[in-house]
């Protein structure tokens, strides 16, 4: 077990990629506080995983959310915190010329600002454990996908924040990395059904020939970055996308 006895916070952890991360972290021995706004899915996953996972319903755009999340983790698992995974992100697809302020605020508040505030609130505990932060960005930001302007803004800002934190917090023993995933979530499968030609073209651009599985392809990469096996990695963007995008 790569994460035996470690304590983790995972945002957006009740559905999609986040649910896969919550399951995989518990499987690898971690105790996980997972945060989401989807109450039914969160409680069902908590029941499924038992004592190793605790669910907190929390809107990441709400004032004071970071303090409430850290307090809930302490109440559930004590003062130790080893891992913070900032996975949650909300957004609405819009062309740049049609983007409204509410949609931009939603993307930035749920992604960039939630990540920023949680990182700062968790800093002291992560410094005490010489822990790790894994943030989430996206190929949508790297490629600049049409209709994804607000989402791309948030995700690329998170990459910049990650690099700065890696430089500033290395002296504190905290590692900070980014994952850009491509995975067959329920949302992706819906989009694939609605856009079969576009999905086929996208999959053709993946050298490994398929979109990744959350549990067997993406989650193990995040586990690695959160584990002691990656103790000499920080400030990196890791593409968990089958080779679709190759950073230099």
Catalytic positions: 151
Please give the Cα distance from 142 to 189 (Å, whole number): 22
184 dihedral zone (left: phi>0; alpha: psi -120 to 50; beta):
beta
Please give the Cα distance from 56 to 93 (Å, whole number): 27
Q: Residue 206, exposed/middle/buried by CB under 10 A (0-12, 13-18, 19+)?
A: middle
Hey, what long-range contacts does 160-163 have (CB within 8 A, 24 or more apart)? 161/112, 161/115, 161/116, 161/119, 161/135, 162/133, 162/135, 162/137, 162/235, 162/237, 163/235
- With beta carbons less than 8 A apart as the criterion, state whether 61 and 110 touch: yes
Q: 């992560």: which residue's tokens? A: 126
């Amino acid at each position: 077990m790569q994460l035996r006895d470690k304590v983790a916070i995972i945002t957006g952890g009740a559905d999609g990629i986040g649910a896969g991360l919550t399951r995989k972290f518990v499987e690898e021995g971690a105790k996980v506080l997972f945060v989401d706004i989807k109450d039914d899915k969160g409680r069902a996953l908590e029941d499924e995983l038992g004592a190793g996972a605790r669910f907190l319903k929390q809107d990441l755009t709400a004032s004071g959310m970071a303090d409430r999340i850290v307090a809930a983790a302490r109440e559930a698992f004590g003062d130790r915190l080893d891992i913070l995974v900032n996975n949650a992100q909300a957004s609405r697809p819009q062309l740049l010329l049609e983007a409204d302020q509410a949609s931009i605020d939603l993307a930035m508040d749920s992604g960039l600002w939630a990540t920023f505030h949680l990182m700062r609130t968790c800093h002291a505990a992560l410094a005490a454990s010489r822990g790790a932060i894994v943030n989430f960005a996206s190929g949508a930001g790297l490629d600049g996908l049409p209709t994804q302007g607000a989402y791309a803004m948030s995700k690329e800002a998170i990459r910049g924040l990650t690099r700065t934190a890696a430089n500033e917090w290395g002296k504190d023993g905290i590692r900070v990395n980014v994952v850009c995933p491509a995975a067959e979530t329920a949302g992706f499968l819906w989009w694939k059904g609605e856009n079969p030609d576009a999905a086929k073209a996208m999959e053709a651009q993946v050298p490994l020939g398929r979109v990744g599985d959350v549990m067997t392809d993406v989650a193990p990469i995040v586990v690695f970055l959160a584990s002691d096996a990656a103790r000499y990695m920080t400030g990196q963007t890791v593409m968990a996308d089958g080779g679709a995008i190759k950073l230099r």
